[in-house]
Chains A and B, each alone.
Chain A
Amino acid sequence: MFRYYLDVTKFALAFSILCIPFLGFITGILVFGLAGTPIGLIGYSQFHKTEYYTYFNLGFTRRKLIISTWVFNILAMIPLFLIYLLGNFLFKMIYHE
């Protein structure tokens, strides 16, 4: 299951990083959490489609795999926001003093 998550999320992450220069860091995080998973699923279907049968044999339905990945990526937005806020705070503290 974690392997599936990594394989989908690598595409989601790449897409989000590409968005950052155009849309900014906060929008990049939003793109990762909300739209990243569908983009990741398209990438997974292109390059790893047959590997679904690995997970099917282990009892993971497609529905369960996709929902779990999406929920995990939405939750991952929280620490990413916190990292952004912390980075912002430290940047201001160092350069404004």
Chain B
Amino acid sequence: MNKLEVHEVRKTFGKKNILNEIRFSCSTGEIIGIFGRNGSGKSSLLKILFGTLKTERLRFEINEAKLERSHRWGSSVIIKNQLIGYVPQFSFLPQSLKVWDVIPLYFPNGTDQDKIFNSPRLSTVADQKIGTLSIGERRYLELLLVGNLDHPFLLLDEPFSMVEPLYKEVIHDFLIELKSKKGIILTDHYYHDVWKIADRKMVLKDGILEPVQELKDLVALGYLRSI
């Protein structure tokens, strides 16, 4: 059982204070859903936790080990120790490679490769180049690759965006299966999908992360106009 505890994150862009009071935790077996309007700092928060965005202040722990931002350029402790996996909202797999060439890049071991190749709906696209995959196929492949790595935590930035309903179901099932091994933090504007899958939900507004219990709270916090 692993536990990620975020005590403090502060981030400003120019004079705008994007992240201010950020405190939350995530354990193995949990999916945390974060909602927020465009520009509220959701993606920035995920990048900060992953270690690819600098911040003024960051205090967090993984399994009670204190982690602070690295002062050495390009040397995040999170990345080096593979503590957190991150699927950004943009495509990050080498576009010119075929699916069956990318899998060994992530999993040198034959048994692990077979596990990925045998995942639902993957065999049909195995001979295609990454650049020719549909958004749904690409998102699913990215999730399979990063999700099956050994990180104890996984950050997902818009995993359901622009994905067809059938792939959403496959992604949903994969994440439910995955949470038995990892803690997952995800953010997406497809709030119904996030709401269905998340164990705990929060709204990021004015730099503050507020927990929400019911859909109507999203209206009260100004994320939705109506349900």
Contact = CB atoms under 8 A, between A and B. Distances in A.
B68 to A, nearest CB: 16
A61 B50 contact: no
Main secondary structure of the interface of B (DSSP, over half): loop
Size bracket, chain B contacts: 20 to 34
A72 interface: no
Nearest to A1: B105
B106 A48 contact: no
Interface in B41-98: 50, 52, 72-76, 79-82, 85-86, 88, 90-94, 97
A53 B86 contact: yes
Contacts of A66: 74
B146 interface: yes
Given A57-B146, A57-B149, A58-B149, A51 B79 contact: no
A59 B90 contact: no
Interface in B100-121: 105-106
Contacts of A59: 79-82
Given A62-B74, A63-B73, A56 B94 contact: no
A24 B149 CA distance: 47
Interface of B: 50, 52, 72-76, 79-82, 85-86, 88, 90-94, 97, 105-106, 145-146, 149, 151
Contacts of B97: 3
Nearest to B81: A59
B50 A50 contact: no
A48 B74 CA distance: 17
A3 to B, nearest CB: 6
Interface string A46-76: 0010111110111111111010000000000
Contact of A54 (B73, B76, B82, B92): B92
Given A61-B80, A62-B73, 9 more contacts: A50-B90, A53-B86, A54-B94, A56-B79, A57-B86, A57-B145, A58-B105, A58-B149, A60-B79
A3 B94 contact: yes
A52 B145 CA distance: 15
Contact of B105 (A3, A7, A52): A3
A48 B86 contact: no
B72 A56 contact: no
Pick the most buried of A50, A57, A61, A63: most chain B CB atoms within 10 A of its CB.
A57
19 contacts: A48-B94, A50-B92, A53-B86, A53-B88, A54-B93, A54-B94, A54-B105, A54-B106, A56-B76, A57-B82, A57-B151, A58-B149, A61-B76, A61-B79, A61-B80, A62-B74, A64-B74, A64-B80, A66-B74
